A and B are shown apart, each in its own frame.
Chain A
C-alpha cells in the first residue's frame, strides 16, 4: 500500500534498474531510449531534473531527500520512516488531508518510501495538474505543519504497518530487514530500520522538528519532473514555489564504513508463524561504482536472476531444495543503483525440513566456488548483459515513470549528474570473465558471508523480536 516502507510496486519494476540509454551500439539492435533531460540547481541548492516525454498526457513528480533510515537518530529507530508518514500530515497552506486530496481529486496517485540512503515522495497526475503538485510539494518542503494529534495518529498507522508486514506475518522481515542486522557491524547499517515499537512510540514533535530542519532542506533534495511538460513553463513554476525556501546547514554524514569481514557469521531466527524453514545468505558488496561493483551486477544475473541462473539450476532443478529464490543487490529495498553506502548481495529461499543446512550450504557453495574458480563463457556473459539491458528498459514505464525518475534522482543526488545512468552501460561492457572471477574470489569468500536461517518455532514460544541476534 501507499506510504510504504518499501515502494515495492513502484520501484521493483525490475530487480536490476538501469539507464534507459544504456544501449549497446550494434546495427542489429534497435536504437534504444533517448531520454531528454535538463538539469540545473536553484540558488538554495535544490537540484532539479526535467525530462520531457509526451506519450501520455501525465506528469510524474519526485522529490528525493538525502536522508535514509541508516542515519536516523540512534535512540529513535524507525524514525526516518515515521517522518516519511508525517510529511503527508499537513503543511501551512495545505492542512492535513489536503495533500492527498489535491493529488487524488486531480486524477492522480502518490506515495512515499524510505530507503537506505534517501526518502522519496512521488506522484503522477494528468499534466494539467502539474502546478498544483509543485505548489503542495513546495509548501511541505518549506512549511511542514504537524500537530500532536497527527503524530499520534501516524504512530498508530506505522505500528500497524510493522504488525501487518512483520509481526503478524510468517517470514516477516526476512531477509530484507533481518540480514543487514546480522551482516553489518556499524550501527548505521545494522539497526532495525522499521523501528522498535517502543522507540516509535516515544517519538515527539521536537524530534520531528529537528529532523526536518536537519535533513529536509532544499540543499539536501532533488526535484524531478518528467512527462508531458513544457521546459520553460515548468522552470518558471519551480522558481515560483521552491526558490524562496531557505537552505539548511551543510549536511554532515557520519561514517557508514563497514570493516572488511573476515569471519563467517551465522544466526538462527525462530519464527512461530513460519511452517517451513528458510535459508538466506549474504555477502558484502564492492563499493558502488567500482569495476568490481559492475562485475557483481553481472554475477547477480549469472548466478541468481531468472530461471536460467546457476543457482536456480542447482537449487531448483537439480536438487529440488526450493521452488525459487529472492535474490539481489539491495533486495527488498531497491535495486543495485539506488543506494550509496555499504550493501549486501543476498539470496534467500524457503525449503523443506528434509533438506539439511549442510546439504544446502554445500549446494550453494558448489555454485559460488565455480564462479570463483572458473571463468564464465562469453555466451553466458552476453546473456547476463542482455538481461540487464532488457531490465533497464522496464524502468521507462510510460504509465507512472516512477522507475525513470528514481534513476534520474539518484544520479543527480550522488553523482551530481542525472545522466550518470548513461555511463552504466559502458561499465558493464568493460567487465571481462577475468574481472568476474577476481571479484567473485574476493567478495564471495565464505569469510565475507552471513548465513541467516529461519526455523519454525513452537506456537507456544513467545514471538521473537525481529532480527534478534543470538
Chain B
C-alpha cells in the first residue's frame, strides 16, 4: 500500500484523504475589499522651526514618542562614526541626571530610551503608558536638549562601539553591504562607508562629540512624532514647554549621492564559507518621480515578495537559498535596487544564472494580467498593514519628510499602485541592464570564482578582490 503510493509520486500524504474530500467546496471568491482610512494626523511647527506631528491612533493605552533629528553620518565630514558615538552618549547623562536615573525614569513609564543613528538621522524614542506621555516627552527633551556628555562614560561607550564593530565585521552580510556601498557610491562618499575604522573611533575626544552635537542638533533639524492614545491638550502644552526654547540651530544638510556605474564584480574572500552572500545592484528611479511606483511594483514581482519570480525559482523550485529578496532603497534624490541572497557555495553560479534569467525574462516578455493584478493587490494590502501600526506609520511619515515626498503620499500611494499598467511593470525591468550591474560576492572564492567566470553575463567584466574593512 505504502509502496504503491510512494512509487506513484502522487504524494504519499494524499493517502490520508477522508471520504469527504470529494465534497470540498471550491475556493471561495473574496468580496470587495473594505476601504481603509490611514489615521489622520496633525502637523504643526513651533516658532523655532521644530516640526511636530500628532497621530491619535491605537487600541492600547500606550503612546510612542519619537524624536528625529537630521544629524547623522552625512554630517560627519569624513569623521565616520562620530555621530554614532555622540548619539550613544546622549542617554548616559542629561539635565544633571545619571544614565541609570534616566533609564529608571523611562522604565517607570513602561518604556526605555531607544536610540537610533544612521546616515541621515539620530532618533530617540520611548513607548510609554498613555498616562505618562507628557513625562516621556520631558525625558526625551532632557536627553536631546540637555545632554551632559559625562567624561566618565566615554571610554566605556568607545569600547562598546569597538566591540560591536568587530562583531559586525565578522558577519558576511555586513561585509557584503560594506563592499557594495564602497564600490557603488565610492569610498570617499559618506554613502560609501557604512562602518568607521577602529582608528577613527579611538581618535574622537569628548570635545569632538560636544562640538558635533553643537553643530548639528537644533530645532530646525528636528521632528517630533507622537502616536497612540494620549491627551492632545496636555501633550501639546508639554511639547511647547519642553522644546519651545530650543535654539533653531542649523538647516538640514542635503547631499545627493553620485553612483559609480557598473559593470563590476567585487569579491570578498571568506575561506571555508558554506554559502555565498550575494548583492546585485542598479540605480532605480528617484522616490516620487514618475517612474518610481511602476518600478516598485516591478521589484515586488521580480524579487520583493515571497511569491516573486526569483524566490519561486531559486528557493521554492531549486532550493539554493532560504531568504532571497530584493528591495528598492531611497536616499534624497537617489534610488537603488538591490537583490540579496545567501546561497550554498556550490550553486553560486547556478543561482546567479537563474537570477539573470528572471531579469531577462521580465525585460523581454510582458507580464500576464493575473500575476500583475496579484502583485498590485499584495502591495496595496501590505501598505495598509505597514501603516496600521504606530511605529509603521511614524516610519512612513518620517520617510516622506526625509525624501521630500508630497504630504498626501500615504493616501495616494495605493491608488498609484493599482493604476500601474501591466506593460509598465515589464518596461521598468529595462532599468536593470545586465551589462551595467554591480555584483558583490562574499564567499569561498576558491570554490566560487570559477563558477562566476563561467557565467556568460560576466564575460569581460572586471573582477576585483577587496577587503571591505
Contact = CB atoms under 8 A, between A and B. Distances in A.
Contacts of A58: 381, 384-385, 388
A265 interface: no
B34 A228 contact: yes
B104 A308 contact: yes
A213 B344 CA distance: 33
Given A104-B305, A160-B343, A206 B17 contact: no
A170 B21 contact: no
A144 interface: yes
Interface stretch (B108-116, B204-212, B218-226): B108-116
Nearest to A134: B28
Which bracket fits the contact residues of B? Answer: 35 or more
A155 B381 CA distance: 31
Given A109-B385, A398-B59, A350 B163 contact: yes
Contact of B319 (A104, A152, A389, A393): A152
B364 interface: no
A206 B12 contact: yes
Contacts of A147: 9-11
Contact of A107 (B129, B325, B380, B392): B380
A125 B378 CA distance: 9
Contacts of B306: 2, 100, 104, 109
Nearest to A166: B274
B378 A107 contact: yes
Interface residues of A, number: 109
Interface string A62-101: 0000000000000000000000000000101110110011
Interface string A346-390: 000011100000000000000000000000000000010011011
B272 A463 contact: yes
Nearest to A391: B110
Interface in B242-288: 271-275
Contacts of A157: 315-316, 319, 321-322
Contacts, number: 296
Contacts of A459: 271-272
A1 B325 contact: yes
Given A101-B307, A212-B13, A390-B62, A275 B20 contact: no
A237 B127 CA distance: 38
B100 interface: yes
B45 interface: no
A107 B275 contact: no
Nearest to B300: A104
Contact of B27 (A102, A125, A167, A313): A102
A109 B382 contact: yes
Contacts of B25: 135, 240-241
B318 interface: yes
Given A147-B9, A168-B273, A92 B17 contact: yes
B61 A31 contact: yes
A198 interface: no
A326 interface: no
B6 interface: yes
A168 B110 contact: no
A286 interface: no
Contacts of A205: 6, 11-13
Nearest to A160: B322
Interface string B338-359: 0000111000000000000000
Contacts of B103: 306-308, 312
Top 4 closest pairs, chain A to chain B, by CB: A107-B381, A156-B319, A390-B110, A105-B374
Interface of B: 2, 6, 9-18, 20-21, 23-28, 30-36, 58-62, 91, 99-100, 103-104, 106-113, 127-131, 155-156, 159-160, 163-164, 166-167, 169-172, 229, 271-275, 305-307, 312, 315-323, 325, 342-344, 373-375, 377-378, 380-382, 384-386, 388-389, 392
Given A105-B377, A389-B129, 18 more contacts: A56-B36, A92-B21, A93-B24, A102-B27, A105-B373, A109-B306, A126-B381, A144-B16, A160-B319, A160-B342, A164-B342, A245-B18, A308-B104, A317-B99, A322-B160, A391-B110, A399-B388, A400-B385
22 contacts: A33-B60, A92-B17, A93-B27, A107-B33, A107-B377, A107-B382, A135-B28, A142-B20, A145-B13, A147-B10, A160-B275, A161-B323, A163-B274, A164-B342, A205-B6, A209-B15, A274-B167, A275-B170, A316-B156, A322-B163, A386-B108, A398-B389
